[in-house]
């Protein structure tokens, strides 16, 4: 029953006196607060709180007390602090996967990569350098639904917290996506909502943009339309050809993806509708 370093997430309709109610529950449970972050979405009438707790934590009792104290529609939950597990889907590009592997390896990303799945073979060698199981899941000559079924079967062999699309260049069906609600994270090759679709850097070059960006977001339905977690940009100029923009874009993709994942891993990202609350 003694568990330290838990995080209590409160996500419920806003109403007067909420903080007092929640605080009293925590107080009655004799829990100490290490860090507390709150946000009231006054436009939508929703209350969000993230509390790092210390003390002898009876999860069942705490959640029951919370359920009694909070209005209906609450999505309170208790999550673990600390290292998480990731399954990673890739196609052929190495840069994001490489970044995840190296940062996972030396500890800058608080996550272990438990499996890498790809519809191509060429990143197998990179996976093996870091002793991560690599699964080639061929998409040729089969229907999309069968391919996704094969992916799901492979994923089902592993225990993981999140699926990361680290430049997985195939669109996932809503059926696949619905298996992992708010648990699939994509890095988009652009500053959403600009340049949705293919060849974004050719589009950006043609438009003569001076800044390009990348967007990390949850995938809940339509590929590029889910709740945004973080975005980053980099300046470019007239001397950048599309391939130079792509190179600059890859750098941003890497840093935006790892930045977003670190916040997700620390349970600082709450999804509400198509938006996110990202606590410090």
Binding mask 40-59 for its own copies (x = CB under 8 A): xxxx----------------
- Contacting residue, 60, 82, 124, 129, with its own copies by CB under 8 A: 129
Q: Are 147 and 119 in contact (CB under 8 A)?
A: yes
Instruction: Please tell me which residue in 41, 224, 225, 244 is annotated as part of the active site.
Output: 224
Site size for its own copies, by CB under 8 A?
67
Which H or E run includes 35? Answer: strand 32-41
Which H or E run includes 86? Answer: strand 84-90
Q: Does 153 bind its own copies (CB under 8 A)?
A: no
Q: Does 174 bind its own copies (CB under 8 A)?
A: no
Q: Are 158 and 132 in contact (CB under 8 A)?
A: no
Q: Are 225 and 73 in contact (CB under 8 A)?
A: no
Stretch near its own copies under the rule CB under 8 A, chosen from 68-76, 160-168, 178-186, 244-252: 244-252
Stretch near its own copies under the rule CB under 8 A, chosen from 23-31, 74-82, 143-151, 165-173: 23-31
Which residue, 177, 155, 22, 166, is CA-closest to 94?
Answer: 166
Q: Is 224 a catalytic residue?
A: yes
- State the alpha helices, DSSP H only, in 121-228: 124-129, 144-156, 174-177, 200-207
Which residue, 111, 114, 128, 118, is CA-closest to 262?
Answer: 111
Stretch near its own copies under the rule CB under 8 A, chosen from 66-74, 141-149, 175-183, 234-242: 234-242
SS3 77: strand
Measured from the CB atom, is 73 or 208 closer to its own copies? Answer: 208
Residues making contact with its own copies (CB under 8 A) = 16-17, 19-20, 23-24, 26-27, 32-43, 94-95, 98-99, 101-103, 105-108, 126, 129-130, 191-195, 206-211, 213, 227-233, 237-239, 241, 247, 250-251, 255, 274-278, 280
């Amino acid at each position: 029953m003694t568990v330290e370093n838990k995080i209590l997430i409160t996500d419920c309709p806003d109403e007067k006196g909420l903080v007092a109610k929640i605080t009293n529950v925590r107080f009655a449970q004799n829990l100490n607060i290490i860090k507390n972050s709150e946000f009231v979405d006054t436009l939508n009438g929703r209350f969000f709180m993230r509390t790092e707790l210390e003390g002898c934590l009876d999860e069942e009792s705490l959640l029951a007390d919370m359920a009694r104290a909070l209005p209906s529609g609450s999505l309170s939950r208790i999550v673990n602090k600390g290292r998480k597990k990731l399954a990673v889907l890739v196609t052929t590009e190495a840069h994001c996967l490489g970044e995840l592997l190296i940062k996972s390896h030396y500890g800058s990303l608080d996550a272990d990569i438990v499996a890498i799945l790809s519809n191509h073979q060429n990143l197998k060698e990179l996976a093996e350098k870091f002793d991560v199981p690599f699964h080639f899941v061929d998409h040729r000559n089969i229907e999309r639904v069968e391919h996704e079924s094969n992916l799901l079967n492979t994923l089902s062999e592993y225990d993981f917290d999140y699926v990361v699309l680290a430049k997985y260049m195939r669109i996932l069906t809503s059926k696949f996506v619905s298996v992992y609600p708010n648990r699939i994270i994509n890095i988009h090759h652009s500053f959403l909502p600009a340049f949705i679709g293919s060849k974004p850097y050719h589009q950006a070059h043609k438009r003569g943009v001076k800044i390009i960006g990348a967007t990390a977001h949850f995938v809940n339905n339509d590929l590029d339309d889910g709740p945004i977690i973080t975005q980053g940009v980099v300046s470019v100029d007239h001397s950048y050809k599309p391939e130079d923009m792509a190179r600059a874009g890859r750098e941003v993709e890497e840093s935006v993806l790892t930045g977003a994942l670190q916040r997700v891993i620390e349970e600082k990202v709450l999804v509400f509708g198509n938006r996110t609350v990202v606590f410090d």
